[in-house]
Homo-oligomer: A and B are copies of this chain.
Amino acid sequence: MNKDFIKMGLELIKKADAAYLTTIDENGFPSTRAMLNLKNAVQFPKLVDFMSQYDEDFTLFFTTNTSSIKVSQILNNARVAVYYCDPETWHGVMCQGEIEIVQDKDIKHAIWQNGWTMYYPQGKDSEDYAILKLKPAYIKSYYQFQQNDLKL
């Protein structure tokens, strides 16, 4: 059971159009927004090798602006959920844990994509280019009226 759940979960994560990241805001309310799904193999073919290293423990990476509200929310409360969903089949996977802001330049450079000067005009060493890393402590999947979960 767990084997299928992990296999199907990774498959969903690698094809989902977007990742929905929920932080907790300064008033204690959840706050959700869509994020680039850097594990999507079609959207980010150059990241497949890098991201695959982290398949085993479902570690996820996201790019954002250091100046964004979500970063200040995370500095205040690191507890997040990331949700992936295929609305056609209602297969959903939630990854929950404490998210980190990556300081390691090697990781930041490895994830950088050429087109991102649109978001970070000063490039991969821009102070406003931030990478978030989530090594989930808990994963829950929803599929065909069944819920399965896994503590990592």
B-contacting residues of A (Cβ < 8 Å)? 17-18, 20, 22-24, 28-34, 79-83, 85, 87-88, 90, 92, 94, 96-97, 138, 140, 142
For A147, the closest partner residue in chain B by CB is: B69
Using A29-B96, A31-B94, A96-B30 as known contacts, say yes or no to A22 and B81 having CB atoms under 8 A apart.
Answer: yes
Query: In the complex the two chains form, is B33's CB within 8 Å of A94's CB?
Result: yes
Identical copies of this chain, number: 2
Interface centre among A32, A80, A81 (most CB of B within 10 A): A32
Query: In the complex the two chains form, is A29's CB within 8 Å of B85's CB?
Result: no
Query: In the complex the two chains form, is A20's CB within 8 Å of B83's CB?
Result: yes
Using A20-B20, A22-B22 as known contacts, say yes or no to A32 and B81 having CB atoms under 8 A apart.
Answer: yes
